[in-house]
């Protein structure tokens, strides 16, 4: 989850999850007798992330049916380092908000200037597969609707988008984000996250990437899940 998965829903709702616990003793790095080597697996991940190109969709929410948010995201500078079990990516995400003629848009109860209806986030991410605990594929609507405080709100995405999601119990994924809203100056921020992810147009490709990332996690000794105390 990546910061973009929290920030790029700029005009919708967001949520934060917290987890804590005690780490079990990490196992020794696994010896895998079958399947692609780590070098081949990391190369496959790098190629599949690089070749995706720009992914775009339109989204509407039931509480704002006349407002359309157009979202675009693209990965560049993808580098997978098998020696360090680390994946480096740069992702550019843009959000445009289309309003009915003559209407005013509000965010957090305040009117939003027309110039501020465009947001761009350039994000550089660092992922160590030694620290990844789980990889899943989610349908984008389900992720967008993960707002327990507002179960009455539904969303529609056209076309469908799939999200390859990497999980960890702690904030181990490093993110640097540069956010530009309208004509305002960019805001730079360094954060860490428990969630990181990548967008795909089709479920088949998303599943292949998730399978490769799971294999890389296993080869790198990841997949250790923290135990809950209570």
State pLDDT tens for residues 47-88: 999 998 999 999 888 888 888 999 999 999 999 999 999 999
What gap in Å lies between CA 70 and CA 89, rounded to an integer? 23
What gap in Å lies between CA 187 and CA 177, rounded to an integer? 8
Specify the pLDDT at position 147. 52
What gap in Å lies between CA 101 and CA 98, rounded to an integer? 9
> With contact defined as beta carbons under 8 Å apart, do 157 and 59 qualify?
yes
3-state secondary structure (DSSP) of residue 92: strand
Q: With a cut of 70, list the residues of the chain below it in pLDDT.
A: 1-33, 102-109, 112-115, 141-149, 225-230
pTM for the full model? 0.77
What gap in Å lies between CA 186 and CA 143, rounded to an integer? 27
Which letter does DSSP use for residue 114 in this model?
Answer: G
Q: How far apart are the first and last CA of the chain?
A: 25
Specify the pLDDT at position 95. 93
Estimate the crossing angle of helix 203-219 against helix 38-50, to 10 degrees: 150
Query: How far from 77 is each of 47, 52, 72, 92, 161, CA to CA, in Å?
Result: 11, 12, 17, 11, 22
């Amino acid at each position: 989850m990546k910061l973009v998965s929290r920030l790029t829903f700029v005009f919708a709702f967001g949520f934060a999850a917290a987890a804590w616990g005690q780490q079990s003793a990490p196992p020794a790095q696994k010896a895998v007798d079958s399947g692609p080597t780590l070098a081949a697996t990391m190369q496959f991940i790098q190629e599949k992330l690089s070749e995706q190109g720009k992914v775009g969709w339109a989204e509407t929410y039931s509480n704002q049916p006349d407002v359309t948010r157009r979202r675009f995201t693209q990965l560049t500078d993808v580098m997978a380092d098998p020696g360090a079990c680390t994946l480096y990516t740069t992702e550019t995400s843009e959000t445009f908000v289309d309003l009915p003629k003559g209407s005013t848009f509000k965010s957090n109860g305040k009117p939003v200037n027309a110039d501020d209806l465009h947001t761009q986030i350039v994000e550089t991410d660092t992922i160590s597969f030694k620290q990844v605990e789980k990889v899943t594929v989610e349908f984008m609507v389900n992720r967008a609707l993960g707002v327990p405080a507002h179960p009455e709100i539904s969303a529609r995405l056209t076309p469908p988008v799939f999200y390859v999601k990497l999980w960890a119990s702690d904030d181990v994924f490093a993110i640097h984000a540069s956010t530009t809203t309208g004509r305002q100056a960019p805001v730079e921020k360094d954060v860490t996250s428990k969630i990181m992810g990548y967008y795909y147009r089709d479920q088949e490709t998303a599943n292949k990437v998730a399978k490769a990332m799971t294999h890389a996690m296993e080869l790198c000794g990841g997949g250790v899940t923290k135990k809950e105390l209570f």
